[in-house]
Amino acid sequence: MKPLRIAWFSPLPDERSSITSSYVSALLLPEIEKECEITLFTNTFLKHPKLPTYHYLKAFRVHKDTPFDLFFYQLEDKPSHDFIRFHLGLMPGVVWFHDALLSTAGPIPILNSPWSDIVEKYHTPSCDWPSRKKVHTYRGPLAYRELGLAAVPVFSSEVAHGEYRRNIKEKIASASDTASYFVPVPLKDELFEDLPEQKSDSSTLSLAIAGAPFVENRIEKTLRAMEQARGKVARSVKLKWLVPEKARQEAAKLVEKYSELDIECLYGESPSQWEEIIRTCDVALHLSFTVFGHREPFPGISLALGREVVVTDFGVHDYLPENLVMKVRPGESEVGELALLIQKLSERSLSLNENNRAFAFERYQKKVVVHNLLSVFERSSQQVLPAHYDRWGKLLSTAKQNLLTESQSLVQSAYFEHALSPIFDELGWLER
C-alpha cells in the first residue's frame, strides 16, 4: 500500500518556537514521515533540512504534478497563520484547530469573503454564484468560515470541540454529516523519560507564571495575591515570570510597582523556556481568563513535570480534573482565593505530583498523538476526502473558467497573456 501523500501547511517546524503549530510540527513530523510522504508548505522561502519545502503559492503546481491525498492545515489565531486561512479557501482539507475563535476577520484576500455562498453552492450545485456586489458581513469571532471549509475538523482543545459539536456544527451545512476529532497538543518524550529534579531550596515557595501583563493573563492579580499573603505565609515566596520580549517595558513597570515582592523576570514565550523555568519551581500558575488563544503546551508541561498546578476556573481549563489541579474562580473573590492558596501551599512540603505526571502521560504522550493523527488521516483519505475533493474540483474548475472568462472580457487579449496569465498560472487558476 502506497503511503499517503500529505500537503502539510504550517510555519517551519521549530521545537523552540512560541508558535504552537511550529512546535507541534517539530515533534510530530519525524514520526509521521515514517508512515506518510510529507511535503511542507510555508509562507517563507526557507527550507526544512529534510523535507521538501515550498512557498504555499506553489501548492497547486506541486499538486498538479504529483497529486496529494490530503491537504492538512494547522490553524492558530496569529498573523503567522494568515496564509493558511487564505489557502484553506482554495483547497479545503483536514484542519487542526488550535484556535476556533479568531480575533481578526483575517487577511485581505478573504475580507468580504463569499464563503457561505461557496459552501452552499458546493452542496447545491444548481444554486447561483454570489453576486459581485453582494456584501458579506463578518459573523464575529467564531471561525465559521474556516470550520465550514474544513472537510475534517480536528481540535486540540476539548472546550472548542465541545462547543463545535453542541452549537456550531449544525449551523454549517458542510459539517452536518462530518466526523470531528479531539487530538491534544503533544509533549516531547524527554518530559516523561527524565524524572524531574526536586527543587533544592525548600525555604522558598517558587511560583511560575507566563504571559504579557494584560488583564486576561491575571499577572497583576497574582502580584496582589502575593502581596495579600505576605505575613501569613510559612516561608518566603518567589515568582518567576516568563515575559514576552515585546512586553518587557510594561513588565518592568509592574515589577517596580510591586517592588517589595520577590519577582524574577525571564524573557521569551516558547515551551522550551517554560520547561526550563518550571523545572526550578514548585507551583505553575495558568490563570488566563479569555476566550481567545490557547494555553497548550504550557499546562501540559507543568503537569508532566509533576508540579502543583493552579488554573482559572474558566474556558480551556474546564476539562482539567479538579482532583489534579487547583481552580480559582475569576471575579471579586479571585485575589483572595489565590492568596489563600499561596498561604496553604507555603505550609506544605511539596513533592512531585505523580498523579499529574500520570495524567499528562496518558493525555499528551507523543506516540499516542501520532497514532491518533495518523488514524484521522487514514480514515479521512478513505471515507471522506475522495468524494469531497471530486466535488470541490468540479466547483473549482467552474469558478476558474468563470473568472477567466470575466477577466478576459475586461482587458485586451495581448495584455492578459503578457501580464495576467502568469499570475493566474502561479495561483493555479488556469486549466491546463
Predicted pLDDT at 104:
81
34-73 in b/e form (b: 16+ CB < 10 A) is: eebebbbbbbeeeebeebebbebeebbeebeeeebbbbbb
What is the number of alpha carbons within 13 Å of residue 171 lying toward its C-beta? 13
Which cell numbers in the block locate residue 345?
501551599
- Residue 283 pLDDT grade (very low, low, confident, very high; cuts 50, 70, 90): very high
* Strand, coil or helix: 423: helix
331 pLDDT above the threshold of 80: yes
The answer to whether 239 touches 261, Cβ cutoff 8 Å, is yes
| Spatial separation of the C-alpha atoms in residues 363 and 12, rounded to whole Å | 25
Closest listed residue to residue 192, CA positions, set 354, 39, 345, 339: 354
Nearest to 74 by CA among 55, 54, 99, 91: 99
Give the integer Cα–Cα distance in Å for 11 and 74. Answer: 9
Model confidence at 185: pLDDT above 70: yes
The predicted structure's pLDDT at residue 196: 66
pLDDT band at 355 (very low <50, low <70, confident <90, very high): very high
Going by the DSSP 8-state scheme, the letter that residue 142 receives in this structure is B
Task: Report phi then psi at 81, rounded to 5.
Answer: -110, 10
- Residue matched to cell numbers 508512515: 35
DSSP 8-state secondary structure symbol assigned to residue 347: T
Tell me the average pLDDT across 171-192: 81
The pLDDT of 317-325, averaged and rounded, is 84
Question: What is the domain partition of the chain in residue ranges?
Answer: 5-186+367-393, 190-364
Which of 283, 145, 122, 124 shows the shortest CA–CA distance to 209?
Answer: 283
Vertex 119: Cα angle to 85 and 11 (nearest 5): 15
Bigger pLDDT: 54 or 89? 54
Whether residue 19 contacts residue 80, with contact meaning beta carbons closer than 8 Å, is answered with yes
**Sorting pLDDT into bands at 50, 70 and 90, what band is 339?**
very high
CB 317 within 8 A of CB 240: no
354-364 and 366-383 are packed helices; what angle lies between their axes, rounded to 10 degrees? 30
Question: What's the pLDDT at 430?
Answer: 76
Which residues on neighbouring strands pair with residue 262, listed in sequence order?
Answer: 238
Q: What is the CA radius of gyration of the chain?
A: 24
Three-state DSSP class for residue 138: coil
- Of 46-50, 137-141, 301-305, least confident by mean pLDDT is 137-141
DSSP per position, 39-83: EEEESSS---SSS-EEEGGGHHHHHHHS--SEEEEEE-SSGGGHH
User: What is the value of pTM for the model shown?
Assistant: 0.87
pLDDT digits (tens, 9 = 90+) for 59-99: 988 998 999 999 999 999 988 999 999 898 888 899 999 99
Could you say which architecture CATH assigns to the domain 5-186+367-393?
3-Layer(aba) Sandwich (3.40)
* Fold: same for 5-186+367-393 and 190-364: yes
Q: What is the pLDDT of residue 138?
A: 67
Classify domain 190-364 by CATH number. Answer: 3.40.50.2000
pLDDT of residue 84: 93
Q: Above 80 in pLDDT, residue 299?
A: yes
As a whole-number percent, the residues of the chain with pLDDT over 90 amount to 48
| Residue 108: band (very low, low, confident or very high) from pLDDT cuts 50, 70, 90 | confident
What pLDDT was estimated at residue 260?
93
pLDDT of residue 123: 67
* Dist. CA 94–CA 257, nearest whole Å: 48
pLDDT in tens, 144-166: 888 888 889 999 988 888 888 88
Model pLDDT for residues 196-250, shown as the tens digit of each residue? 666 556 789 999 999 888 877 788 899 999 999 998 988 999 999 999 999 999 9
Q: What is the mean pLDDT of residues 177-206?
A: 82
**If you average pLDDT over every residue of the chain, what do you get?**
87
Residue 127: its pLDDT value, please? 79
